[in-house]
Structure 1
Amino acid sequence: MGNSHHDPVVQCRPAWNAGKTVGAKRPLTQKQIWAVRFFLDREGRVRDRALLDLALDSKLRGCDLVKTKIGDLVSGTDIRTRAIVIQQKTGKPVQFELTADVRASLLAWFEHRGGTIHDYAFPSRVDHAGHLSTRQYARLVDEWVEAVGLRRAEYGTHSLRRTKASMIYKATGNLRAIQILLGHTKIENTVRYLGVDIEDALPLAERTEI
């Protein structure tokens, strides 16, 4: 049963989002990405560098990223240039590219980590047969952004999912391509996810002459 807004107790109670940043987390800029990479390389955090790079290239939700297995990313002795995973939320496959720098950081991590194609790419440190938890992934992202002077309230795991998608959208304006890359079932979800509004649409229209 709900509470009346006339209830003095409710009136004195702070809003659930008081003092919090609500809404979509910001994507990272190219400069911020390299700042985080520099921090991780300087600290010798091979696993975290590979995790960051895979998150950026794959554009996967955190729940799918942490469940990625070595076999999803490796073919023979090489890192795949393209990979496919089944999304937990939709049950549908999504394909993503693995660029040269990302393949290099993944290879460095797998050589350090060892394991078989059936093992999780990023195992739990508590249960070695399990995978890194989404909560721990979120804690790591908080740590990374704070290390380069960003506010953790404004960035999170969805920042990594949105980063490359936002860059591709700004370069091309192709919402359908972004929908496919993010694995969204509806284009409306992609529009909301990217925060597309009239300020984005008008410059695209202005660049097109008939």
Structure 2
Amino acid sequence: MRAATTIENFLEMMSAERGAAENTLASYRRDLEAAAEFTVARGASLPDAASDDIRAYLDEMTRLGFAATSQARRLSALRQFFRFLYSEGLRQDDPTGILDAPKKERSLPKIMSEEAVGRLLDRAKLETEDPAVIDKLRALRLHTLLETLYATGMRVSELVGLPAGVARSDHRFLLVRGKGSKERMVPLSAKAREAMSRYLTLRDAEPGSDGNPWLFPAFSESGHLARQVFARELKALAARAGVSTATISPHVLRHAFASHLLQNGADLRAVQQLLGHSDISTTQIYTHVLEERLHQLVSEHHPLAD
């Protein structure tokens, strides 16, 4: 079997039957093409690969210094691929079935303090009101992005890809299309609604805005704001606000949203729903963050601590 053809068929199935997002499909493609290149070097085609070929591939990734998380992701892509071949009758076995996923340490998410987030949001709002700021629309866009992100905990891809219509139907909630095209409602805070209203007023006054389908369109090209552009603007804002830029990113603000909710008594199931996690075990990582902070607090301040 030709690897290129079977990979294309697999990706088509993932898109049509499982509603996989473009980013997910691109990730599958990269991982499977890398595996196909390795198996060709061993004299085999990926669709016909044996367990020894896949094991050798994992060993090679270890030798090259790939993180356990990267290895596990690539093995997961291969498992899905071979299950597809089995279901289609193109193979009679699954060569990944006897392989164990690389063990990985569960790293705690990076978070920001409420004080640091407050400084970031205050600076963003201040720049929308500063007469010295020339590009008022860009400043309003950044402030609205931050307020919305911290109010909802959306994934950055969900945020920048919001259609313009979602902010006009009901300012109290946003309808978000997440992974696997699953939809969920997320509430907007009063500050986020205020920022959104100010931003939309100026955005709608821009020439050609009527025909733009994106809530946060790119200024220099077609399409919506790129995640990388948002990340750069966020880091630059953090520097101006006196917040460390070493760990700041849109994803860190998503982590901050979840951690701060739990710190202030939110229910874990509610946070799971807001984040769009299909499995609550993914959300439980934030409880470990709280446990670590409590342990550190006791260690530093208890009179009997060593």
The whole-number CA distance in structure 2 between the counterparts of 1:146 and 1:182 is 27
Percent identical: 24
Is the Cα–Cα contact under 8 Å of residues 56 and 160 in structure 1 kept in the other structure?
A: yes
Match of 1:109 in 2: 199
Q: CA 1:59–1:4 in 2, change beyond 3 Å: closer, same or farther?
A: closer
Match of 2:171 in 1: 80
CA RMSD of aligned residues (A): 2.7
More helix by share: 2
- What letter is aligned with 1:58? T
The whole-number CA distance in structure 2 between the counterparts of 1:4 and 1:74 is 53
Structure 1: which 5+ residue stretches go unaligned? 11-21, 203-210
The whole-number CA distance in structure 2 between the counterparts of 1:194 and 1:116 is 44
Is the Cα–Cα contact under 8 Å of residues 140 and 199 in structure 2 kept in the other structure?
A: yes
Shift of 1:37: 2.6
SS at match of 1:26: coil
The whole-number CA distance in structure 1 between the counterparts of 2:292 and 2:110 is 19
SS at match of 1:96: strand
Match of 2:224 in 1: 131
Is the Cα–Cα contact under 8 Å of residues 70 and 117 in structure 1 kept in the other structure?
A: no
The whole-number CA distance in structure 1 between the counterparts of 2:155 and 2:287 is 14
SS at match of 2:116: helix
The equivalences for 1:53-64 within 5 A come to: 53-64=147-158
- What letter is aligned with 2:254? R
Is residue 2:239 matched to residue 1:155?
Answer: no
Q: CA 1:194–1:84 in 2, change beyond 3 Å: closer, same or farther?
A: farther
The whole-number CA distance in structure 1 between the counterparts of 2:261 and 2:238 is 22
Shift of 1:28: 4.1
TM-score scaled to structure 2, two decimals? 0.53
The whole-number CA distance in structure 1 between the counterparts of 2:143 and 2:213 is 19
CA-to-partner distance for each residue in 1:44-88, whole Å, 9 max, x for gaps? 22111111111111211011100012211112xxx520121111x
Q: CA 1:197–1:107 in 2, change beyond 3 Å: closer, same or farther?
A: closer
Is the Cα–Cα contact under 8 Å of residues 262 and 268 in structure 2 kept in the other structure?
A: yes
The whole-number CA distance in structure 2 between the counterparts of 1:162 and 1:40 is 19
- What letter is aligned with 2:160? V
Larger Rg: 2
TM-score scaled to structure 1, two decimals? 0.75
Q: Highest relative contact order (Cα 8 Å, sep 6+), 1 or 2?
A: 1
